[in-house]
Amino acid sequence: MHGGTLAFPILSMLVFVPVAGALLITLLSKRRPEYMKLVAAVSSIVTGAMSVWLVAEFDGHATGFQFVSKHTWIEQWGISWHLGVDGISLFLIVLTGVLFPLAILGIDPHNDDPARDKPYFAWLLLLEAGVMGSFLSLDLFLFFVFFEIVLVPMYFLIGGWGYEGRVQAATKFFLYTMIGSAFMLVSIIATVFIASRNGVGHVTFDLVEIAEHASFAASTGRWLFFGFAVAFAVKVPIFPLHTWLPDAHTQAPTAGSVVLAGVMLKLGTYGLLRFGLYLFPEASLWSRHLWLSLAVIGIIYGAIAATMQKDLKRLVAYSSVAHLGFIVLGIFAVTSQALTGAVMQMVNHGVSTGALFLLVGMIYERRHTRQIADLKGIQAVAPIFAATFMIVMLSSIGVPGLNGFVGEYLILIGAFLSARWYVVVAATGVILAALYLLWAYQRVFHGEPDDDNKTFAELKMKEAAVLLPFIGVIVFTGVYPKPMLERIEPAVDALIAHVETRTGHVAPQPTTIVIDEVTHEEGEG
Amino acid sequence: MLEVIWLIPAFPLAGFLLILLFGRRLGDPKAGYLAATMVLASFVVAVGAFFDLRTMPAEERQHVEVLFSWVPVSSLHIDMAFLADPLSLTMCLFVTGVGFLIHLYAVGYMHGDPKFSKFFLYMNLFVTSMVVLVLGENLLVTFLGWEGVGTCSYFLISFWHTRDSAATAGKKAFITNRVGDWGVMLAMFWSFQAIGSVSYSALNGAAESGALARSTATAIAMLLFVGAVGKSAQLPLYLWLPDAMEGPTPVSALIHAATMVTAGVFLMTRVSPVLEASAVWAPQVIAWIGALTALFAASIAVAQNDIKKVLAYSTVSQLGYMFLAIGSGAYVAAIFHMVTHAFFKALLFLGAGSVIHGMHHEQDMRRMGQIRRYMPITAGTFIVGWLAIAGVPPFAGFWSKDEILLFVLADNIALYVIGIVTALLTAYYMTRQVIMVFFGEAKWESHAEEHGAHGEFKPHESPPIMLIPLVVLAGLAIVGGLIQLPSFGWVPSGAQHQLENWTEPVIEFAEADIAGTWADGHKLILIGIAVASGLIGIALAWLVYQRKRFRPVEPQLLEEGWKYDQTVSAFMGGPGRKAFEAVAWFDSAVVDGAVHGVARLVRGSAGEIRKAQTGNVRNYAGIVGVGVVLLLAWFVIFRGVM
């Protein structure tokens, strides 16, 4: 527990500021709807600014958690308000911090009654607090609380501001995730009490303490891991537990889809890392072939299903199933490159898919349809809009020089060391990604625009301002990923070292052949 | 100039950014001149670097310029670094040199197009990517360029995207190339696992020192070849290249003839030590695929009627020659042919573009003829290109083709026969094209009405800005052979094997040694055979198309490219699509259906159970009564009460 520290409780503030914003909105008068968006924008921008500040202050060389904030909450059960950040969670925090203001500013809810702005923005801010808390919690109980809090605002956002099939989609989303969480709750309680008698010595919900000291019997650990794994597998979602996702994505309001794809799905992959691999290394490795298989199936299956979708939002939703498959592959490959790539890809997917949902939302605002068949020839009338879509799409396809490639490449090259044949199959996913996205692009943007699409409006200044940060991140991270990689890697290496000492498993390394002429220009590191 | 080697990609990149920001304001033709200037500046830097390298001793001709650490994670270190050596600079010289001429030409060709500046935006991005590809110090930097040229190719093929055929062709090119990219990616992964690096120096060093296991070398070489097959349009992935002719003609000349499609040949040359360290069958596979592609594509070219399609299949065929050379260990000859092909094929495409321009966008050769009277400069330069590709001495193509065939014969006589037959076919279909377009009878007058020309319709010669590149390229197509003259008594020894001496540090490990073979000892006979096959091809076509002594043999099957494209399309659109639909159906009906099934089950059973809650006291009393009886019975029968 060393590294960056600040007198200012920045992590707690990352959770409290959005909560305060949400509270303020509920206290404001319904008759002043114009203040709602202002409060939401200000509090999310403040949170975003703090998250960026966090990166600046973050000590890239330190391992372990930084800016730790720990206060006892329920003493007799060992529950505490325990927050901390490391290289694995750092960029997910920033992603959350930056994505929310863009989602709030970028696209307005389609409210006929302005009074409905009030609950909309309040729910969005509460959602942000929940997501932040989930990524920051180092206490099992606290994590569970935040993990569950997230569901409620999302349920109301989909059900209240979604499209034609919203109620059914919201219910499906809620029930599906709740069932997963039920498994996790049982596992959390069992973990705590079994751990207290096996190495920890007292009842505590503290993640770090349990992970470092508890020693579970193999079969016990596997059962406990199973409970967590079900909850996270639903959240990711991993095939075949994914069918809530296309419905939820399609029916959610644009901001909801952006947040859902951008950060909420990462609660699943992040959970698999933090509460799977870290807490139950033995069980994770024991079951890795199952995970790797499901990941590869997800990559291929998600891509094929995406190809045949008729609804643009559903297509992007299925592409998420494929992309998240890559991330799961990276996690359970357990090599330095693959895990670093997986963490990076969580952020990259958030950026590119977030931007894609914004763009699809803008198409919907103009044409009131998401059906690919209703759209045609948009590039001829709105070239800048089309070019923006193109860049984001190329990032999603994984073209080198853009962010999506770096993460995917690291996942695959790292996984090749430990799971070669999975990679051989998974790499065909890059062909399929080009297939479904380019085909969709052709149908929507190419061709001669028909009468309905002739008046498609070009990108507006306000929209461009929201999309520009996405494009900036996409290009910068693709060309110069080092600042990001060097902050992620120490945490990933520490995690691998932890897995290695707990299980005796050794992560495979590449063979190095020393040849005289070859000298490596080491970065200043 | 070697320290500023990064300027070679930087200039066109700057051009790209400038046109991105100010393109519309610059407009037609200033944006085009800006783009051309940037490529010229790159060419100047490349020339400077070339002379720098020449002053160095042969074994030191290598300079690595590291820009920054690109992807560093743990044991993986990949730098954004450029490698200046004889191979990369040779590539840079002709890419930027020919690229500049084509940019210049395009200023005239694209004049009046509403997306004029956007065209040059893509073109400059393409040149940037292409020089990054050839300058890469490691596989990943090359891959950056590799995907970059693929993406630009996609943009430029579908440049006229309101046309459905253009949009489809662009998509097809990108996706087919991605199949090849799969191989390149896996090759990189394999290289990293085997030697902990993806840099060429480490990979080739390991191959040369014997540290790379034979099986690993074979795997890496074959996977890279999968990429090369995609990028360089070989069997079975060549399908995208003929369709790529949907793009503007300067694009066909630059990307789909002179530069991008040769990237596969370049890549195999770059990793030639790995190929040398592979199993014996690996180079043979390459040679056979090259030879079969050469023959296959040439046979299709014989029956094409679209002026650009002939050249497209011809390009596929000539690329096959280059792979035949690679597989036979003739790396110098492969590069030599790559360079001369860049000259004469760019010339032929630009000439075809000039004809299309002069004929008001007519591309069907059956509606041409006698054009030499109206477009003398275009015709004259096109004829130079024709003689060069047909292998007539002393034009450039003769020397390079001859060098390839020499090495092939030393390797395998069956491949040599295929090579000679292809040479004959090449001369035949090119003569056919020249006669149909420039000689024969004028067949365009009857179609004058369709072109909206009132009164007399006449083809017109293109403007000087299009003709200057043609003349320069024609000059190069005549003298290009000088860079690698063979060793004959009458060739001054100082002028022999220039290219070989220059590229020796790169290829010496893998280059086949043919000294002492029968082929090497009988070069004059080989030259005789090669020239004869070319002349026979020309004579046959002349008899058929000019003198009309024989009926042309143009079977439907060849016109349709052996129905290969149709078969693949039918498969993709039929069973392929059905399979995809089946997956989508499975997802909604089975996977999601199971979820809904569970939900229905829960709701259904809950509904049934709810019915028990009738609120009717007599029902409850009845159930209580039955329960009491059952309970008592259980006590009596099983527990033995009483």
- pLDDT, tens digit, for every residue of B571-603? 988 898 999 999 989 988 888 888 888 888 888
What pLDDT is attached to residue B448? 52
- What's the rounded Cα separation, in Å, for the pair A303 and A316? 10
Indicate yes or no: CB of B584 within 8 angstroms of CB of A309: yes
Question: Mean pLDDT over residues A175-204, rounded?
Answer: 91
Q: By C-alpha distance, which of A131, A14, A128 is closest to A67?
A: A14
The model's confidence at residue B451, banded by pLDDT at 50, 70 and 90, is low
What tokens were used for B339?
């360079």
A477-516 residues touching B, CB cutoff 8 A = 480-482, 485-486, 489, 493, 509-513, 515
Closest-CA distance, A32 to chain B, in angstroms, reads: 42
Q: What is the DSSP string of B258-301?
A: ISGGGHHHHHHHHTHHHHHTS-THHHHHHHHHHHHHHHHHHHHH
* Nearest-by-Cβ selection for B69 from A239, A511, A523: A523
Confidence of residue B617 (pLDDT cuts 50, 70, 90): confident
Tens of pLDDT, residues B351-381: 999 999 988 888 999 888 888 989 999 999 9
Q: What is the rounded CA–CA span in Å between residue A512 and residue B75?
A: 9
Min Cα distance A342 → chain B (Å) is 12
pLDDT score for A523 = 38
- Is the pLDDT assigned to residue B349 strictly greater than 90? yes
Tens digits of residue pLDDT in B260-303: 999 999 999 999 999 999 999 999 999 999 999 999 999 999 99
CB contact under 8 A, B74 and A417: no
Q: What is the pLDDT of residue A3?
A: 46
Q: What is the predicted pLDDT for the residue at A520? A: 43
pLDDT in tens, B459-480: 889 999 999 999 999 999 999 8
Q: Where does B4-75 show beta strands of DSSP type E?
A: 63-73
Residues A304, B580: C-beta atoms closer than 8 Å? yes
CB contact under 8 A, B205 and A340: no
d(CA A68, CA A49): 19
State the pLDDT at residue A468: 95
Report whether pLDDT(B339) > 50.
Answer: yes
Answer whether residue A2 shows pLDDT above 50.
no
Check residue A514 and give its pLDDT: 59
pLDDT at B302: 92
Average pLDDT over residues A73-87: 91
Angle at alpha carbon of residue B400, lines to B396 and B406, rounded to 5°: 145
Q: What whole-number percentage of chain B has pLDDT above 90?
A: 67
Distance, CA of A36 to CA of B310 (rounded, Å): 66
- Residue A86 in tokens: 């490391």
pLDDT tier, B446 (very low <50, low <70, confident <90, very high otherwise): low
B444 pLDDT more than 80: no
Nearest C-alpha of chain A: how many angstroms from B166? Answer: 9
Question: Residues A480-488: what's their mean pLDDT?
Answer: 94
Give the closest residue to B270 by CA, choosing from B496, B96, B90: B90
* Mean confidence (pLDDT) of chain B: 91
How far is the C-alpha of A234 from the C-alpha of A2, rounded, in Å?
34
Provide the token pair at A327.
């991330």
Please state the rounded mean pLDDT for residues A171-176: 89
Check pLDDT > 60 for residue A519.
no
Chain A 246-285, CB below 8 Å of chain B: which residues?
A: none
Q: What is the pLDDT of residues B86-116, one digit of tens each?
A: 999 999 999 999 999 999 999 999 999 999 9
pLDDT of residue A525: 32
pLDDT for position A6: 64
Whole-number pLDDT of residue B642: 61
Predicted confidence band of residue A425 (pLDDT cuts 50, 70, 90): very high
Using the predicted structure, report yes or no on whether residue A89 has a pLDDT greater than 80: yes
Judge contact between B67 and B80, C-beta under 8 A: yes
The residue with greater pLDDT, A483 or B444, is: A483
Cβ neighbours of A164 (radius 10 Å)? 9
ipTM, interface predicted TM-score of the complex: 0.92
- What is d(CA A452, CA A339) in angstroms, rounded to the nearest whole number? 47
Q: Structure tokens of A473? A: 């991140």
State whether B587 and A448 contact (CB < 8 Å): no
Residue B117 scores a pLDDT above 90: yes
Confidence (pTM): 0.92
Q: Which residues of A touch B174 (CB under 8 A)?
A: 434, 438
Which single residue is written with the structure tokens 């494009």? A471
Q: What is the average pLDDT across B220-234?
A: 96
Contact A400 B143 (CB under 8 A): yes
Residue B456, pLDDT score: 60
Residue B452's pLDDT band (boundaries 50, 70, 90)? low
Q: Which of residues 376-405 of A touch B (CB under 8 A)?
A: 377, 379-380, 383, 394, 399-401, 405
**In a mutagenesis test of the A interface, which of B587, B595, B598, B600 is the best target, namely the one with the most A β-carbons within 10 Å?**
B587
Average pLDDT of the residues in B384-413: 92
Element (H, E) at A72: strand A66-74
Residue A395 has pLDDT above 90, yes or no: yes
- Asked if the model's pLDDT at residue B450 lies above 70, the reply is no
Contact at 8 Å (CB) between A65 and A85?
Answer: yes
Choice among A503-517, B61-75, B542-556 with the minimum mean pLDDT: A503-517
Model pLDDT, residue B447: 56
What would the pLDDT profile of A442-478 be if each residue is shown by its tens digit? Answer: 999 999 998 889 999 999 999 999 999 999 999 999 9
SS3 A69: strand
Provide mean pLDDT across the span A212-239. Answer: 92
CA A53 to chain centroid, in Å, comes to: 20
Tell if the CB–CB gap between A413 and B76 is shorter than 8 Å. Answer: yes
Question: pLDDT higher for B424 or B453?
Answer: B424
* Alpha-carbon distances, residue B305 vs A128, A518, B429, B438, B544 (angstroms): 63, 53, 11, 14, 15
User: Which of 230-249 (A) contact B at CB < 8 A?
Assistant: 239-240, 242-244
Q: Are A289 and A346 in contact (CB under 8 A)?
A: no
d(CA B308, CA B329): 32
Q: What are phi and psi of B529, to 5 degrees?
A: -60, -45
* Cβ-based contacts of A414 with chain B (< 8 Å): 73, 76
pLDDT the model gives residue B330: 93
pLDDT value for B603: 81
A380 touches B161 (CB < 8 A): yes
pLDDT in tens, A279-322: 999 999 999 999 999 999 999 999 999 999 999 999 999 999 99
